[in-house]
A = this chain, B = another copy of it.
Amino acid sequence: MRLILHIREMQSWSEAERRAGKRVALVPTMGFLHEGHLSLVREGSGRADRVIASLFVNPKQFAPNEDYRNYPRDFERDRALLEREGVDILFHPSAEEMYREGHHTHVEVEKLDRFLCGAFRPGHFRGVTTVVAKLLNIVRPHVAIFGTKDYQQLQIIRRMVEDLNFDIEIVGQPIVREKDGLAMSSRNAYLSAPERQAALCLHRSLKKAESLVRHGEREGGRILSAVKEELEKEPLARIEYVSLCDPRSLEELESIRDQALLALAVWVGRARLIDNTVLTA
């Protein structure tokens, strides 16, 4: 596995691979990798001749009061994990390399950024779309793989790629969970032992909703109440939002006709955790 730190070198490498007829996959990450990331890498390997993983903790997607400085990092461990997965290139630029003096451009997807996390993290998705647009231009992949834990992020990136005509396939991969159901997240590292136990309430509440729907419940209000009730049983958890919405437009749904996204953000200690499930009537 080759480590590339500079944009120009990354662009030249990819251009040469494309000209040689190779199909290139990108797996963008912020590092501190877990099985969820590795499942994206494996999906990339199955879909392309070359796999590039990027590792960049993007300052532009964190608000000043958020955890940019404390975001967990372990470069050597990440490098070893990616090497073991057969990744061809680890692209790991510095913040100075990505945002040069005088940088003033952003990419924004309107409307979809108003809902869910967008309502609580103003500017977050603008930071995400800007850095993803940059990575797509730097790596020039044929396909890019994203997780669905941040379901809204995936929808916004799909919208951007379609609207700006990036000739790139966007693939979403299922959430990978710990054995007890907790969705894998780099931010789980923030949890103390009792908080780690408390964090199970997210998955438990989603399971409860799935069970209600399986038993015929279609009424949004009743599903949301049941989910909140489950979360509120946990004294270490604080709900940021629980939303039942259309999986494509992300607009709130009053009831489930065919499919609905149930998405939630919950604080446990200093970890802001998100999780979701798609409910099918």
Contacts and interface: CB of A to CB of B under 8 A. Distances in A.
Interface of A: 7, 11, 15, 18-19, 21, 100, 102-112, 129-130, 133-134, 137-138, 140, 159-160, 162-167
A267 B211 CA distance: 67
A164 B108 contact: no
A7 B165 contact: yes
A151 to B, nearest CB: 17
A140 B165 CA distance: 11
Contacts of A106: 107-108, 110
A113 to B, nearest CB: 9
B104 A107 contact: no
Contacts of A160: 105
Contacts of A109: 104-105
A134 B164 CA distance: 5
A165 B6 CA distance: 12
Contacts of A102: 159
A117 B132 CA distance: 30
